[in-house]
Amino acid sequence: MLRIAVQAKGRLHEETMRLLEESDVKISLAKRTLLVQSSNFPLEVLFLRDDDIPQSVAAGVADLGIVGENEFVEKQEDAAIVKRLGFGRCRLSLAIPKNIEYTGLDWFEGKKIATSYPSILKDFMCRNGIHADIHVITGSVEVAPSIGLADSIFDIVSSGSTLVNNHLKEVEVVMESEAVLIANRGMTQENKSVLDELLFRMEAVKTAENKKYVLMNVPNDRLSEVVGILPGMKSPTVMPLAQEGWSSVHTVLDEERFWEIISQLKASGAQGILVLSIEKMIV
């Protein structure tokens, strides 16, 4: 049985549970216990605070964990990153009061910086030869400058609205982060093969993301024009319709280019265009 540590509640919880669900790993959240076993996959889920996930994976209390890369790097625990998951994106940045002129990294020399990420910050300052006074606080870091607790902060930024609300400006991005799947380095062979199966499923979910299955009817005399518009390495499926002179064309499109391509298809005589979500895709 493979054990995965995930965030019990917070910003990564929902997306993590959705990833497991879309990978067809059923977890009943009804019981709300610390440890829940999947009903259809050899996996159990351990619900923890994100701070505790790196250590529990490194120590083997859990075989796997899903945690923000920022938290993983900060904790300096020994585990392997096996997959970057593409959600929970944010960055760790230095910010200073917005009305102060920023003169470059030297500005931080001798300054007091409030943060919940002291080891990442210490490492960054050390690499850049800056001596700053790092002040650790665990919550509401962004208010520290306005109450006189620090000159600046080092914290998570995603949209930047928290900084604006606290009259701060971002001056240096130190690290980009996203949720990562981490694994204990001493997993049994049996658990490794369960992990491979899980990774295979996660990959299929991820490949299908942002992709649409598109079907349309096309008059045969315009088929080559329509097929020419469709991107991709594989040629689309073309099947004759019962109605003489028409064909049905099936293909997979990237969501990003979708509207642009659909309008070209319409202009080329495609009709009855159906667009379907793809649940999983194995390439």
> In angstroms, what is the minimal distance from the CB of 108 to Mg ion?
25
Taking the least distance from each CB to ligand ATP, the nearer of 115 and 191 is 115
By the rule CB under 6 A, 91 interacts with ligand ATP: no
Scanning the chain, the segments in alpha helix (DSSP H) are 13-22, 53-58, 69-75, 118-127, 161-165, 189-208, 223-229, 258-267
Joined tokens for residue 180:
């990562």
Based on the shown chain and the rule CB under 5 A, indicate whether residue 74 belongs to the binding site for Mg ion.
Answer: no
Position among 5, 6, 12, 25 found at the interface with ligand ATP (CB under 6 A) = 12
Q: How distant, in Å, are the alpha carbons of 73, 133, 214, 259 from that of 219?
A: 57, 72, 16, 21
Residue 252's Cβ-count burial label (10 Å; 0-12, 13-18, 19+) is: middle
> Which residue in 20, 38, 41, 50 binds ligand ATP (CB under 6 A)?
50
The half-sphere exposure of 185 on its side-chain side, counting CA atoms within 13 A, is: 8
Q: Based on the shown chain and the rule CB under 6 A, indicate whether residue 23 belongs to the binding site for ligand ATP.
A: no
What does R_g of the chain's alpha carbons equal in angstroms?
25
Is residue 260 classed as helix, strand or coil in its secondary structure?
helix
| CA 221-222-227 angle, 5° bins | 130
Rule CB under 5 A: say whether 69 interacts with Mg ion: no
| 67: helix, strand or coil | strand
Query: Is 266 among the residues that bind ligand ATP (CB under 6 A)?
Result: no
> Binds 156, which of Mg ion, ligand ATP, none (CB < 5 to 8 A, cut-off by type)?
ligand ATP
86 binds ligand ATP (CB under 6 A): no
Residues 56-75 that bind ligand ATP (CB under 6 A): 68, 70-71
Binding-site member from 38, 41, 46, 50 for Mg ion (CB under 5 A): 50
> Whose CB is nearest to ligand ATP?
68
Least distance to ligand ATP, CB of residue 69, Å: 7
Using CB under 6 A, list all residues that contact ligand ATP: 7, 10-12, 49-51, 68, 70-71, 88, 90, 156, 158, 177
